[in-house]
Structure formats: C-alpha cells, structure tokens
C-alpha cells in the first residue's frame, strides 16, 4: 500500500499521496490540495517544493553527493570528457566509440556561425557585458537556424549546434570586444582546446595548446554541466513549459545565470579579492569581518545553499586548481590572497562548524583567472558548461506526460476592494 500524509484542518482530514524517488527521497503530492481544501502552499524560493520528476541529476546536500544519470561526478571528472558527459546527460547513456566519434564530428561541422551574426556584435556598445551579448545571440540563432523536431534522430543536431555555436559566439564576443581579429575553430583541435585557441590565438603570437590547461577546462565544464533544479535550470523549464523554442529557453537560462548569487558567483570571488587587495586588508581581518553579523561584508565563494557539507565539485576543483597553479607558477597577488584565505577558512572553527567551506565558485574563479580568462567572461564559461544540462532538462520537460505550463500561485497582501477615485477628487 502506498504511503500517504494526512492533513487535519478543523474537522476536515484529507490524505495526500507520497511520491518516493529512486534514491529514497520523499515528496508530498499536493496537486489536489487546492481542489480539496482551497489552500495553496507558501514556500519562498521554492526550497521545499519539487517542481518536476527528473531522471537526469541526483544530488544530496547533506552527504555531498552529485551524480549525472547515476554516475558520480568524481568518476566523470577523472575519466570522462566534456563531450562524453554532454552526450550522457542528453541521451541517458555513455556513448560507444562510434557514437562519440559521430558526436565529435557534428561538433566540428556545426562550430561556425553565420557571418551576418557578426554584425549584431557591432551594434552593441563595446562595454556590454558578455552575458547580455550571449543571451541575445542565442535567441538570435533561431533566425538563422530553424528548430528541428526533438526526436532521437535529430537531437544530436540540436545539441551539437548549440554546444558548438555558443562556444564560438563566446570567443567571438571576447575578440570583438577588444577589436581583435576573430579566430575560427580548427578541425584538428578538441572541443576545449579549440575554445582556448579561439580566445587567445593572435596573428603576432600563435597560441600554444597546453594539455594541462585543456584538461582543467574540460573538468571545469564537466563539473558545471548540470546541478538539478537550480535558478537557471528552473528558468529554462519554466519558459519551456509554455512550449517556447529551445533557443529562447536557453537564452532565459543564460539571463538567470547572470545573477551574482548564481553563475556570477565565480566572478564575484575575484572582484572581492580585488577589492580586498586594493584596500590592503589582511586575511585575518577579512575572516573577522565575515563572522561579524553587523558587518555587511560578505565572503564570496564559501558555503552553499544546498550542500551542508563540502561541495563535491569543490574537492575536485581544488585538486585541479593546485595542479594549474603549480604548473603555471604564476606570480599573482590575488591568487596568493585566495590561497591564504582558503587555508585560514579550512582551519577556522567558525567556518567549519557553519559548513562554510570553499565552494566550486571559489576554486573555479581562481582557475579561470590563472588560465587567462577575463573576469567578465567567467559567467560565460559557466554557461557553456551548463548547456548540456539545460538542453537535457528542456528535452525531459517536453517529453513529460505530466506536463503543465508553469503557473505559481501567490498569497495576495495588497489592499482590499476599494473604489476608483476621479483625478479631480484626489
């Protein structure tokens, strides 16, 4: 017999079914609550509300678990590539060698963008933020590349078109913003190596591909590929619930990711370190300010809303970060400050007792800076990595037999009925 939950209000008792997930998590099904009682639930931020059933990503914040399609992210970061992880998320299986080769060929074949799209960049002010540009350009893709039917034969085309062209658009925005010649993708380079080459190759200084940096970027994108029903993913699903096209839905996700409390957190880490370095504050003083409830200062890159223990992605990213910094031997006061801050926070009783460990944004900001990615491009890097997750979530919502257009309720707190007052009597 299935489990139920009883709700008692006055002399009325109703039973609501309990939904049990494959990992044992439980949810009360309240789809009939309003019909039976006239009540709705109130849950600001939706921290206790499940908006869908999903078979893509499992995370357990209390235990520090993150899995894509059942596979631990630790294993993917060690053995997989971003291309393979993207395939896994969208298709619910690891590709065979033949399937991966075909996927890679499609990524290469669809990496160019229509030349007319370059004109769009010229109409934006040079100081425009790359995330605003990227959101606009992804939306514009539909004008150049019509939608395909989302079936098994054509999903690869849709996925590779977005993965390839968004990577190219991101690199183009960087080059054009600096007045440099656009570098086109090369068929002999891998997905990550191609991006770095498009970013940093110049006619006067050819870019030399560093395999350690390529692998660091590969892991960075794997760790950001999906993260359950976060703000941007929820935005993609909500916009898509109106049966909006994939390009517009992804554009909405990019806009949501732009926020400093979401994808912009890695940029906020470097901006915080820059401000601290400029002010000449010590790490000890920084930690004291973070503990002071009366101080508005906020220590960026520490703690996580969902993870109540160490962010599993941060553990992996820390190892990559250490390797990159050791490999490059960079003399950067901000990176030195970050390492000092990490060491103090990991040993401080207040931070440990409050689970304020360095999160993935802390280490990813350091890695991206070390690679040479400009700070205002950090969130764009996040968006490229999150693309396969957004696409998988959008596709899953399109196939959902329980689909309904997203339409949250509210508790109205405004004025009660009152009459209109003519302007002469006000």
Residues identified as active-site:
304, 361
Write out the two tokens for 241: 């619930």
Q: Annotate 205-271 with DSSP letters as a single string.
A: SPPPP-HHHHHHHHHHHHHTS--SS-HHHHHHHHHHTTT--HHHHHHHHHHHHTSTTTTTHHHHHHH
User: Collapsing DSSP states into helix, strand and coil, what is residue 393?
Assistant: helix
Question: Angle, to 10 degrees, between the axis of helix 82-91 and the axis of helix 191-200?
Answer: 120
Distances (CA, A) of 350 to 276, 310, 338, 353, 354: 21, 15, 18, 5, 6
Q: Torsion over CA of 49, 25, 250 and 371, rounded to 10 degrees?
A: 120
Q: Using the CB atoms, write b or e for 375-385: b if 16+ within 10 Å.
A: bbbbbbbbbbb
234 touches 240 (CB < 8 A): no
Binning the chain into helix, strand and coil, the percentages to the nearest 5 are 55, 5, 40
356 touches 303 (CB < 8 A): yes
Q: Which of 164, 186, 172, 192 is nearest to 107 (CA)?
A: 164
Going 385 to 387 to 388 to 389, the CA torsion angle's sign is positive
For residue 152, count other CB atoms closer than 10 A to its CB. 7
Q: Which of 366, 368, 359, 320 is nearest to 196 (CA)?
A: 368
Distance CA 163, CA 113 (A): 12
Q: Which of 351, 355, 356, 373 is nearest to 364 (CA)?
A: 373
Q: What angle do CA 169, 214, 139 make, to 5 degrees?
A: 20
């Amino acid at each position: 017999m299935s489990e139920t939950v009883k709700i008692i209000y006055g002399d009325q008792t109703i039973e609501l079914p309990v939904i049990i997930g494959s990992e044992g998590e439980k949810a009360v099904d309240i789809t009939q609550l309003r019909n039976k009682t006239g009540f709705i639930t109130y849950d600001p931020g939706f921290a206790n509300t499940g908006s869908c059933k999903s078979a893509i990503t499992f995370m357990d914040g209390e235990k520090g678990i993150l899995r894509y399609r059942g596979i631990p992210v630790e294993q993917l970061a060690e053995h997989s590539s971003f291309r393979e992880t993207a395939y896994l998320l969208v298709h619910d299986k690891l590709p065979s060698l033949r399937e991966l080769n075909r996927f890679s060929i499609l990524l290469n074949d669809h990496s160019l963008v229509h030349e007319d799209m370059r004109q769009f960049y010229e109409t934006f002010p040079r100081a425009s933020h790359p995330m605003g540009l990227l959101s606009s350009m992804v939306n514009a893709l539909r004008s150049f590349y019509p939608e395909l039917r989302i079936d098994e034969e054509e999903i690869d085309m849709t996925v590779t078109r977005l993965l390839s062209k968004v990577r190219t658009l991101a690199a183009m925005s960087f080059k054009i913003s600096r007045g440099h010649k656009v570098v086109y993708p090369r068929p002999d380079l891998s997905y990550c190596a191609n991006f770095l080459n498009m970013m940093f190759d110049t006619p006067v200084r050819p870019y030399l591909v560093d395999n350690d940096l390529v692998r660091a970027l590969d892991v960075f994108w794997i760790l950001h590929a999906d993260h359950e029903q976060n703000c941007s993913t929820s935005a993609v699903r909500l916009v898509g619930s109106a049966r909006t096209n994939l390009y517009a839905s992804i554009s909405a996700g990019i806009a949501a990711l732009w926020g400093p409390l979401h994808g912009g957190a890695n940029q906020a880490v470097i901006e915080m370190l820059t401000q601290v370095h400029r002010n000449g504050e010590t790490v000890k003083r920084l930690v004291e300010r973070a503990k002071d409830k009366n101080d508005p200062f906020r220590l960026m890159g520490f703690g996580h809303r969902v993870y109540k223990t160490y962010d599993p992605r941060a553990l992996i990213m820390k190892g990559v970060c250490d390797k990159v910094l050791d490999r490059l031997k960079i003399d950067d006061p901000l990176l030195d400050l970050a390492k000092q801050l990490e060491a103090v926070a990991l040993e401080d009783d207040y931070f440990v007792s409050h689970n304020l460990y360095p999160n993935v944004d802390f280490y990813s900001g350091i890695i991206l800076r070390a690679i040479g990615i400009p700070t205002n491009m950090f969130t764009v890097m996040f968006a490229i990595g999150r693309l396969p997750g957004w696409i998988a979530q959008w596709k899953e919502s399109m196939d959902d037999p329980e689909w309904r257009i997203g339409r949250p309720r509210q508790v109205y707190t405004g004025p009660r009925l009152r009459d209109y007052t003519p302007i002469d009597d006000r």
